[in-house]
Every structure is written in C-alpha cells, then in structure tokens.
Amino acid sequence: QVQLVESGGGLVQPGGSLRLSCAASGRSFSSYAMGWFRQAPGKAREFVAAISQNGGSTYYADSVKGRFTISRDNAKNTMYLQMNSPNPEDTAVYYCAASISYAAVRASQPHYWGQGTQVTVSS
C-alpha cells in the first residue's frame, strides 16, 4: 500500500513554468513505477507521463512531449512534474499514481491514486 499526496498546483501564465510534486508514504517508494494523469472539466482523465522504478525509463503523452519532464527522487520518496511552456489546454486537475507494474502505469491502469492538485493556465 502507498499513499500519495500532490502539491505545487496553482495559477500559471501561458509560457511560464510550474513544478508539481507527489510525496509518497507507506511501502518502499522505489518499488513503484509512477505516473501523472490529468482531468480537464468535462473530459475524461488522461495519461500525461510515466517513470520507471529507478527513473531510468520515462514515457510521455504526445501532447506534453518536449514541454513537461517527469522525474523522481527515491531518497526523498517524491516524484515531480516540471511543466514548461504550459498553455490553456493544460488546465486540469493533475493526479499522481503508482503501481508495482510500469506497464500498468503506461497503460493508464495504476493501482494507487492521489487526490489531485488543480493547475490553471491563464493570463
């Protein structure tokens, strides 16, 4: 079992930057593949990015590739999402998620979810 808490959301201007964090507690953080997902108003939740247990492999949705960077610090039990050059279409509630299986995260089927943090991109 792992508990996940997101932070760092807020209002950001188009073209700015924002970093989200996901703090994990419970069983060994380094055993879990991690991911970020998001849900915009009136839309289904969608995959954003995934990272393997040791951070050696990452995977991105085409919509964020080249703008967002996922990373993790296993010593701090924390995962990050660096959002550069966001645009209004990135406005959503962002969720972190975890699974023992990296494939499950990439397939948008993680086992554990955080509560979400709101990101609003607007001038």
Model confidence at 1, pLDDT cuts 50, 70, 90, reads: confident
Asked whether 109 and 1 are in contact (CB, 8 A), the reply is: no
The owner of tokens 């995962």 is 79
* Distance (Å) of CA 88 to CA 17, 35, 75, 77, 81: 13, 22, 34, 30, 17
Token pair belonging to 50 = 């995934």
Higher pLDDT among residues 99 and 1, named by residue: 99
pLDDT tens digits, one per residue of 9-45: 999 999 999 999 999 997 799 999 999 999 999 999 9
Structure confidence at residue 35 (pLDDT): 98
pLDDT digits (tens, 9 = 90+) for 58-84: 999 999 999 999 999 999 999 999 999
Q: For residue 104, what pLDDT band results from cuts at 50, 70 and 90?
A: very high
